[in-house]
Structure 1
Amino acid sequence: MMQSWQSPRPKIEIARSALEKALQLAGWLVLIAMIVFISVKWGGLPQRMPTHFNLRGEPDGWGSRWTLWILPAISALLFIGLNQLSRVPHVFNYPVAITEQNAAFQYTVARQLLAWINFEITVMFAYISWTIVNAAKSGGVGGAWDILIIVGVLFVTIGIYLTRAIRGR
């Protein structure tokens, strides 16, 4: 039974776990590395770059090299936004009813889910940036199947969360 966000839920303070802190630090490092990588490679990039790849990894969309900065910008906005969202787990949707007895567990597991997804999305954007830069410099193929694997990892992460949340009713 899904519980409505309008239902009163316990608002409790739960300290960030070591895992959440580690994932947040790793995410910041990946985000910074993405920005540094693009900055270092910038001078050697062509004005026209691939911006999209088909399932064979061949470029099928093109744009200015300035479009490459959209990836770290979106990644940073998502990263900061999900970090802020994780501070209010009582407003999330849960697959189980939240009670006084299970609130701490459910909030912790949900925050860990957000930490993992936040990190995984940041890695995905960094990988896409790396792929685009390498394809632009070599005129070669991107990594379309790799992105599908990364998206698969996101779904596995969500599946693990749902299993843990439902078992911890």
Structure 2
Amino acid sequence: MAEEQRGGTGRSEAPSQGQAFRKEERPLTFPSMASRPEPDFTLDVFHRSLLTASVAVAVLISAYTLLQVPSMPEEVPIHWSLSGTVSYGSRSTVVLIALTLLPIVIGTAVLTRFPKIFNFPFELSKDNAQRQYRNAVQMLVWVTAALTVMSTGLYLPWLLGNENIVLVHVGTAVLVASMVFFVVRMYKLR
């Protein structure tokens, strides 16, 4: 009460103003992104390598695909239905897809640097913030890898002249499996 009289933020006002606060005997809680602590961990070698390789492969395969567009046939496969029917479209579609997928992969990789801004389905506390950050960053590393596999699976039929998109399915499976794994783990790490 004395703090409120001096013009400071009282305990009851702290959550509404986005400031860190402590509820009774529980750890310090961060109700807003601004009040959260900075990440103080580094990714393990495996996840750093996976992220670096994913971005490198995405950049290289996208660049190579874009360089090959002039030598591609006028019509290229652009959609594969579940029944196996293939739809064809202009090779300018290849350019559009490559220029869309590459920024998505790079953007996802860049987001791994800013776990403080991620949305979590519960409040972070002093006790769980760093492990939640690490888990979320690892999930994004796997999402980046899955997106790279999916985009490579799209580019290969154009580059090789076949209609095999098995890597798209593999990438989709990795994407779904990794997201389920890390979301379940997020709740266990609370």
Unaligned 5+ residue runs, structure 1? Answer: none
Of 102-111 and 31-40, deviating more is 31-40
Distance in 2 between residues matched to 1:110 and 1:163, nearest whole Å: 11
Corresponding position of 2:10: none
Corresponding position of 1:52: 79
Corresponding position of 2:9: none
Report sequence identity in percent: 23
**What is the TM-score normalised by the length of structure 1?**
0.79
The answer to whether the 8 Å contact 2:59/2:102 transfers is no
Distance in 1 between residues matched to 2:80 and 2:73, nearest whole Å: 17
Residues 82/40 of structure 1: CA separation in 2 closer, same or farther (3 Å cut): closer
Q: For this pair of structures, how many residues does the alignment match?
A: 161
1:121-146 alpha-carbon deviations (Å, 9 max, x no partner): 01101111112444xx35xx443x76
Corresponding position of 2:41: 14
2:57 is equivalent to residue 30 of structure 1: yes
3-state SS of paired residue (1:112): helix
2:101 pairs with 48, 72, 75, which one? 75
Distance in 1 between residues matched to 2:83 and 2:167, nearest whole Å: 11
1:122 pairs with 148, 151, 164, which one? 148
The answer to whether the 8 Å contact 1:95/1:162 transfers is no
Across the aligned residues of Structure 1 and Structure 2, the Cα RMSD in angstroms comes to 2.6
Letter in 2 for 1:59: V
**What is the TM-score normalised by the length of structure 2?**
0.71
Distance in 2 between residues matched to 1:5 and 1:91, nearest whole Å: 9
2:168 is equivalent to residue 147 of structure 1: yes
Letter in 2 for 1:51: I
Which aligned runs of 4 or more in structure 1 are off by greater than 6 angstroms?
A: none
The answer to whether the 8 Å contact 2:37/2:116 transfers is yes
The structure with the largest alpha-carbon Rg is 2
Question: Relative CO higher for 1 or 2, CA cutoff 8 Å, sep ≥ 6?
Answer: 1
Letter in 2 for 1:131: P
Distance in 1 between residues matched to 2:108 and 2:130, nearest whole Å: 19
Unaligned 5+ residue runs, structure 2? Answer: 1-29
Corresponding position of 2:120: 94
1:34-68 alpha-carbon deviations (Å, 9 max, x no partner): 135425754542112221121133212x3221321
Letter in 2 for 1:18: V
2:184 is equivalent to residue 157 of structure 1: no
Letter in 2 for 1:103: A
Of 22-31 and 97-106, deviating more is 22-31
The answer to whether the 8 Å contact 2:152/2:167 transfers is no
